[in-house]
Amino acid sequence: DGGITQSPKYLFRKEGQNVTLSCEQNLNHDAMYWYRQDPGQGLRLIYYSQIVNDFQKGDIAEGYSVSREKKESFPLTVTSAQKNPTAFYLCASAQQGDLYEQYFGPGTRLTVT
Amino acid sequence: RKEVEQDPGPFNVPEGATVAFNCTYSNSASQSFFWYRQDCRKEPKLLMSVYSSGNEDGRFTAQLNRASQYISLLIRDSKLSDSATYLCVVTFNSGGSNYKLTFGKGTLLTVNP
Q: What is the pLDDT of residue A18?
A: 93
Dihedral (Cα; B84, B86, B87, B90), 10-degree rounding:
150
Q: What is the pLDDT along chain B (113 residues), one digit of tens a residue?
A: 678 999 988 999 999 999 999 999 998 888 889 999 999 999 999 999 998 888 999 999 999 999 999 999 999 999 999 999 999 999 877 676 667 788 999 999 999 99
Q: What is the pLDDT of residue B6?
A: 94
- Name which of A42, A45, A96 is nearest B97 (Cβ-Cβ): A96
Count chain A–chain B contacts defined by CB atoms under 8 A: 50
Q: What is the pLDDT of residue A2?
A: 66
B2 touches chain A (CB under 8 A): no
- Name which of A50, A90, A98 is nearest B98 (Cβ-Cβ): A50
User: Which residues, including other chains, have CB under 8 Å from residue B11's CB and lie 6 or more apart?
Assistant: B19, B21, B107, B108, B109, B110
B92 touches chain A (CB under 8 A): no
B100 touches chain A (CB under 8 A): yes
Q: What is the pLDDT of residue B31?
A: 81
Measuring CA to CA, which residue among A55, B94, A113, A14 is closest to residue A23?
A: A55
- CA B16-B19-B23 angle, 5° bins: 160
Pairing between strand B84-95 and B107-112? antiparallel
For residue A40, list chain B residues with Cβ-Cβ distance below 8 A: 105
A54, A111, B38, B99 from B63: Cα distances, Å: 36, 39, 20, 22
Q: Tell me the three state secondary structure of residue B11.
A: strand
For residue B106, list chain A residues with Cβ-Cβ distance below 8 A: 42
Residues B89, B83: Cα–Cα separation, whole Å: 19
Q: What is the pLDDT of residue B8?
A: 86
Q: What is the pLDDT of residue B72?
A: 96
Q: What is the pLDDT along chain A (113 residues), one digit of tens a residue?
A: 569 999 999 999 999 999 999 999 999 999 999 999 998 788 999 999 989 999 999 999 999 999 999 999 999 999 988 989 999 999 999 887 656 788 999 999 999 99
Q: What is the pLDDT of residue A71?
A: 96
Residues B37, A3: Cα–Cα separation, whole Å: 18
